Amino acid sequence: MRAWVDIEMDNLLFNLKKVKAKVPNAEIMGVVKADAYSLGSLEIAKELVNNGVTILAVASLDEAMELRNAGITQEILVLGILLDEEIKQAAQNDIQITVGNFKQIEYIEKNNIGIGIHIKIDTGMGRLGFTPEKGEEVVKYCLNKNLHIMGIYSHLSDADEFNDEADRHTREQISKFEKFDKYKDKVKYLHILNSGGILRFNDGYVGNLVRPGICMYGMLGYERVQELKRVFSVKTKVLSIKTAGEDTRISYGRKGIIKKGETYATIGMGYADGLKKTLSHKSYVLIAEEKCPIIGEICMDMCMVKIPNTLKDKISLGDEVVVLRDDIIEDMEIEHRCACDILTGIGKRIYRVYKRNGQPYLINR
């Protein structure tokens, strides 16, 4: 294998248990959109469902169908907005949908579609859903018309922002959502907490469902969560090792410099694999747990890294290189640092290696 991501399933389950302990009265909706943040939605979904997760969430009908077609029978919610024909197809496949505008309700009524809906309330994310006031009307309307409301939910915009203003906003969002508590007996699920909400705003939670995504992989924002364990390590191999005979310019645009006598390696991962070009000169890789800075522009399939003196005499062709991991993401010197962004960028060429007890039990792409 040229490049792969190790996925530690034991640690995923450890993190899932921690999540449950934070909100003991709530059930879990496992968010496996974007191919489970690139770690493989089918394998991750199976693992979650086998370990007590009540319902799964994805972004689109395609993602939901992928799980259904693979034999997953668990409840599934599409977090995005489906329109017209897609709503019919969702109903035929017992997939629950998000309702964020009245057109969808009209369509469901007109075509007499039996489908589980989750009414989306915009409490301050500014993305999808009804204002809390309008939302109440919609909930009452749907209850009256006997539409099948499975849930009422909202989404937090600032739960992983770590500042007072953001925290104030989060509390305000949660308090707006709490007004829907009165429908608890009429709908199955009330949910607002994402990873940041679960880890930081779980106190007195009125909902009965939470939606963890990135925290299952041990991270929040771009930081590691101390009490959680590492789940993913993206790796490749050393393909070339050179010691510069003179000061040498490196890669496209020749922006990298290796001084005479310094050693550098070329490794088998580039931006087409998810090592974003914006990380050129702004991140490092680990060889034998030693930091090797990325030098020069990252290429499509490869990049160059500087080998520290302490590693010079130990490094060989084929050595394992850790390219993306929780601690490396934490140290990236880029704007808009975001663990989800980096993770979901992991490319199709990367093999997914699922491990238990440190041993691989499944390898696929």
Ligand X SMILES: *Cc1c(COP(=O)(O)O)cnc(C)c1O
Rounded CA-CA distance 284/292 in Å is: 5
**CA distances for 198 relative to 25, 50, 211, 353, angstroms:** 12, 21, 8, 28
User: How many residues comprise the chain?
Assistant: 365
Phi first, then psi, for residue 149 (nearest 5°) are -75, 110
Beta bridge partners of 153: 120, 191
* Marked catalytic residue, from 18, 20, 22, 33: 33
Q: Is 153 a catalytic residue?
A: no
Minimum Å gap between C-beta 38 and ligand X is: 12
Considering only 155, 188, 224, 306, the residue that binds ligand X (CB under 6 A) is 155
Do 352 and 41 contact (CB within 8 A), yes or no?
no
Residue number with CB closer to ligand X (33 or 200): 33
Minimum Å gap between C-beta 59 and ligand X is: 7
In the bound state, the residue with its beta carbon closest to ligand X is: 213
Considering only 139, 214, 292, 302, the residue that binds ligand X (CB under 6 A) is 214
Beta bridge partners of 263: 243, 307
Sketch the per residue contact string, 315 through 354, with ligand X: x for CB under 6 A, - otherwise: -------------------------x--------------
100 binding ligand X? (CB under 6 A): no
15 binding ligand X? (CB under 6 A): no
87 binding ligand X? (CB under 6 A): no
Report the 3 state secondary structure along 251-279. CHHHCEEECCCCEEEEECCCHHHCCCHHH
Q: Is 141 a catalytic residue?
A: no
7 binding ligand X? (CB under 6 A): no
Residue number with CB closer to ligand X (31 or 295): 31
Burial (Cβ within 10 Å: 0-12, 13-18, ≥19) of residue 342:
buried
Buried b / exposed e along 212-243 (16+ C-beta atoms within 10 A)? bbbbbbbbbbbbbbeebbbbbbbbbbbbeeee
Residue number with CB closer to ligand X (91 or 219): 219
Do 274 and 303 contact (CB within 8 A), yes or no?
no
Burial (Cβ within 10 Å: 0-12, 13-18, ≥19) of residue 281:
middle
* Marked catalytic residue, from 103, 186, 252, 361: 252
What residue numbers does the annotated binding site for substrate cover?
A: 127, 300
Residue number with CB closer to ligand X (30 or 296): 30
Do 17 and 216 contact (CB within 8 A), yes or no?
no
- In the region spanning residues 189 to 208, those forming contacts with ligand X, defined by CB under 6 A, are 194-195
228 binding ligand X? (CB under 6 A): no
Count of residues of this chain found to bind ligand X when the rule CB under 6 A is applied:
12
38 binding ligand X? (CB under 6 A): no
Interface ranges with ligand X (CB under 6 A): 31, 33, 79, 155, 194-195, 211-215, 340
- Active-site residues, by number, are 33, 252
